[in-house]
Amino acid sequence: MALTSILGKVEIDNVVVPAGDRGEQLIANLILSTIAFDLHSDSTAGRHVAQAHALALELADRSLLYRPPRPSKFARFICEMEGHGETILLPIINNVLVVPAVAAADIASDRQADPPEVKVTVLEVTRFMLRLRPRRIATILESLDSAASGEQQSDAARRILTACTRHELPITEALDRANECFTLARDLIGKRNYPLGVLALGNADRALDTYAESASINDHRAVVTSMKEQIRRMLGELRQTAM
């Protein structure tokens, strides 16, 4: 799986989803459960499913249909691995990228000793207007008893995610894209994922260039100049770290 290569290798465990909107937390737990199921860590996946179920019940007490008050952010990774493409969507809650904790030693024993090289071709921040039917979600999750296989539970979670994320709202303004990529880069660097941090910084820098070319930046010249200087300094520091 491409995710294990691009996000690093630390101990797989139940990830604490950041505080925030309950609907976003529900979606984050479902995404984490599908990843854990793919890695054959059914116990961790089960805990995320249980947390998603509890959140669905909480939201069901509020309304039949739940929408977060504002668009929800996600990081989209498009990867190439052995000639095949894979898209990974991870939630961003309160500017924190919610990533699984993955350790090679905890993945199924039939995993290849030398994982194939993974190239991230696209890393972008996008938004979705989530639309959740919490009672229906809770019912689906309740139907997945202990006898259900990990594949069955993962498929059910993916169907829920597909239904909830149909309405995408891409970030079209160049300055907004730059700001989102810069914020994502800082989070990735804080997580010590320097290659992806560099990629996100490069995206931010190119978005600033696009903004400068397509519009008058008099009102934002100081902001653009400051961001480009921060990007230049951070890239320099990361190159020193890699030496």
Could you tell me which of 105, 9, 22 has the C-alpha nearest to residue 61?
Answer: 22
Q: Name the 3-class secondary structure at 81.
A: strand
| Alpha-carbon distance values, 19 to 34, 199, 235 (Å) | 21, 27, 30
Model confidence, pTM: 0.85
Length of the chain as a residue count:
243
- What six digits make up the tokens of 227? 């961001």
CA distance 217 to 194: 30
**Mean pLDDT (10-residue bins), the chain, 243 residues:** 53 76 96 87 88 96 94 91 81 92 42 58 93 96 76 90 95 92 93 89 92 70 84 88 61
CA distance 101 to 104: 10
pLDDT at residue 143 in the model: 85
pLDDT at residue 8 in the model: 52
pLDDT at residue 40 in the model: 80
pLDDT at residue 3 in the model: 59
CA distance 36 to 107: 9
pLDDT at residue 120 in the model: 81
pLDDT at residue 145 in the model: 65
Count the Cβ atoms, other than its own, within 10 Å of residue 165. 18
Give the residue extent of every domain in the chain. Answer: 2-164, 174-242
